[in-house]
Amino acid sequence: MELNTSNTDCLLIIDVQNDFCSGGALAVPDADSVVASINQLSQQFDNVVATQDWHPPQHSSFASVHSGRSPMDQIDMPYGPQTLWPDHCIQGSHGAEFHADLTMHAVQNIIRKGFRQPIDSYSAFFENDHTTTTGLSGYLKERGIKRVYCVGLALDFCVRFSAEDARKEGFETVVIENACRGIDIDGSVDAARQAMLECGVSLV
């Protein structure tokens, strides 16, 4: 895909990590096929930032720490509903590393998220309490970024909430769908598309 980018555009590469790719603990269907598209896109941007899901062992989003619960169950956390996941992206593990074929040399900053034990973080901007910030908004604003292009994994979780928050933070926001893949629990990909459009995110 050829884009007409300017130096106020930033490509935001979300969670292209081994655990979300084939053979990973929380493998997203067909995830590996986004790598080539993203590598091609990152050559077209002056500004590239990546996120890295980065959980401590025993993170509260892991089904394994809630007795009697299974991955994909929903529970109520103090900050709202939370889907439970298999253990994934544990700090320092192979699963938390970026996909080996993802070109990282253009990436200027890596935002780690989900490192607080009691709270999950889907969005690159805010944790799931919608209050605790990762600092990304201020970083992009200080660098004069006006538009954010989101790509990566998973379309219906981290890409969705990152795109919605980018929009809420005042960035023009574009999701490049063919460089994303979703988990799709009970129609969550369609719901994500709908919610992003309602927030004013462009899907291309």
Query: Where along the sequence are the contacts to Zn ion (CB under 5 A)?
Result: 53, 114
Determine the Cα–Cα distance for residues 105 and 48; give it in Å rounded to an integer. 10
Closer residue to ligand VGL (CB): 170 or 187: 187
Closer residue to ligand VGL (CB): 128 or 137: 128
Closer residue to Zn ion (CB): 9 or 160: 160
Closer residue to ligand VGL (CB): 10 or 158: 158
Is there a catalytic annotation at residue 15? yes
Q: Minimum distance between the CB of residue 5 and Zn ion, rounded to whole angstroms?
A: 29
State which H helix or E strand residue 38 sits in: helix 34-42
CA neighbor of 41 nearest in space, from 158, 164, 149: 149
**Catalytic one of 53, 87, 113, 165:** 113
- Return the SS3 of 53: strand
- Return the SS3 of 115: coil
Is there a catalytic annotation at residue 158? yes
Determine the Cα–Cα distance for residues 200 and 176; give it in Å rounded to an integer. 14
Q: Minimum distance between the CB of residue 158 and ligand VGL, rounded to whole angstroms?
A: 3
**Residues at the interface with ligand VGL (CB under 6 A):** 15, 20, 53, 85, 122, 153-154, 157-158
Task: Return the number of other C-beta atoms located less than 10 Å from residue 151's C-beta.
Answer: 24
**Catalytic one of 9, 10, 15, 156:** 15
Q: Minimum distance between the CB of residue 195 and ligand VGL, rounded to whole angstroms?
A: 14
**Catalytic one of 10, 89, 150, 158:** 158
Residue 131 CB burial class (10 angstroms; 0-12, 13-18, ≥19):
exposed
Given a contact cutoff of 8 angstroms between Cβ atoms, the answer to whether 149 and 9 are in contact is yes
What are the structure tokens assigned to 194, written together?
């709908």
Residue 11 binding: pick among Zn ion, ligand VGL, none (C-beta 5-8 Å cut-off by kind): none
Residue 171 binding: pick among Zn ion, ligand VGL, none (C-beta 5-8 Å cut-off by kind): none
**Catalytic center residues:** 15, 113, 158
